[in-house]
Homo-oligomer: A and B are copies of this chain.
Amino acid sequence: MSSFGSAYRISTFGESHCKAVGVIVDGVPPGLPISEDDIQVQLSRRRPGQSDLTTPRDEKDKVTILSGVEKGYTLGTPLAMTVANQDQRPHDYGEMDFYPRPSHADWTYLQKYGVKASSGGGRASARETIGRVAAAGVAEKFLRLTHGVEVVAFVASIGNVSMEPMAAYPCEEGQDEEKQEAKWLAKWHEWWRVLKTVTRGDVDKNEVRCPDDKVAGRMRERIVKARDAHDSIGGTVVCAIRNVPAGLGEPCFDKLEAKLAHAMMSIPATKGFEIGSGYAGTDIPGHVHNDPFVLREGGRLGTVTNFSGGVQGGISNGEDIYFKVAFKPAATIGQAQATATYEGEAGMLAAKGRHDPSVLPRAVPIVEAMASLVIMDALLQQLGRQGARALLPEDSNIPGVLTGKPPRGGQTEAEVVTTIVTQADGPHKVETVRP
């Protein structure tokens, strides 16, 4: 259905050629200061026509709040928001309409609904994401005000041009094995530093939305090459979420990574999702992949490394959450393609008009939006549980647990172990002997 979330629940509507697209948001906390300007910021980042890399259609995409806000504050009732469509008429049918666009949603929508909208794929349009971004604007404001949550996404690769250090674990056995591993680990720490510090300002420095300017230049070339060939090219978006409190995510099915995966894979053109070490983690041995605990300033536990990506057992652990999303090349291309009509007759299809050679730069605020929606929903659910728990008598707990230090004389089995320690010059392996 067209709804997402449970405690913070959004319901979107709208096709490309109807009067408007929009969203209803239910579960908005009351008393939150919010304005259309707050919402517009990310909508404008999502809008087409921002650069010569994206489709030049100039959609204004001005949002209107219809309900749920009074004198600048939320009432706790549903917020409805709409963005008018510029082209509100179904288009005239032409020859192109006899062909389902390859790898687009034309044919599957017809299979599903048995009717065919003039826009072909109906809701499978990038315009559908407007409602998501608007709804996330409210969530983001709340998360920022109450927890200082920061959600920053950026383009990490276009085609095979990549800024990523997710190198394979060094598996060659030999004399400098340990050195290789330390080097490899240092690259991860470097990556975590990027994730910890990158800002939306850094991301918007260039039109590709890659914070590494040098890589961005090569990405731009790759997109221009696709554009000039009336072709398209995919890539990946990485997203970091910072200052998420520990304890979010609902076992067993609504684990935080499961909801994030659901959210990201519901964005048009996505083909993959990975969190933390992701696919690279499949060949890192357990003793390296495990994130050891350490006491942080302020007295809470943190982890030395963050292969987990901020989530353990489906629940946030307070570390930075980061994940990567794969986007395929856009299905609509100007090049002629040999394919078949709905009736099965072979023929050629060439899309008219101008199309995004790469959806990646505009996907950045959409990924951020879906991330905010997931965190917001998980937070509200956890607040309900915490509220309930806080009402119980203080001694309401399972006896004999967590009473403090280990009993006198406690001994572990291991005598010598290797620890990963992060120092100024990078990570080191340290051997420790227990007395």
Contacts and interface: CB of A to CB of B under 8 A. Distances in A.
A48 interface: no
Contact of A344 (B27, B301, B328, B344): B301
A432 to B, nearest CB: 6
5 contacts: A15-B68, A108-B249, A112-B315, A234-B282, A343-B404
A257 B115 CA distance: 23
Interface in A273-331: 273-279, 281-287, 289-295, 299, 301, 303, 307-309, 311-318, 326-331
Contacts of A133: none
Contacts of A286: 226, 231-233, 329-331, 333, 335
Nearest to A388: B29
Contacts of A108: 246-247, 249, 311-317
A13 interface: yes
A186 interface: no
Given A247-B111, A252-B266, A275 B279 contact: no
A210 interface: no
A434 interface: yes
Nearest to A234: B282
A75 interface: yes
B19 A67 contact: yes
Contact of A252 (B128, B284, B348, B414): B128
Interface residues of A, number: 213
A290 B12 CA distance: 28
Contacts of A96: 412
A38 interface: no
Contact of A315 (B109, B258, B402): B109
Interface in A384-417: 384-389, 391-393, 396-402, 404-407, 410-417
A66 to B, nearest CB: 5
A157 B282 contact: yes
Contacts of A194: none
Contacts of A295: 340, 344-346
Nearest 8 interchain pairs by C-beta: A105-B313, A336-B414, A384-B384, A383-B387, A232-B286, A295-B344, A272-B274, A338-B419
Interface stretch (A1-9, A39-47, A55-63, A200-208): A1-9
B271 A272 contact: no
A427 interface: no
A71 to B, nearest CB: 5
Given A67-B21, A80-B14, A406 B265 contact: no
A287 B326 CA distance: 18
A234 B20 CA distance: 40
Given A262-B259, A385-B29, A77 B15 contact: yes
Contact of A102 (B250, B273, B303): B303
Contacts of A426: none
A352 interface: yes
A129 to B, nearest CB: 8
A17 B66 CA distance: 10
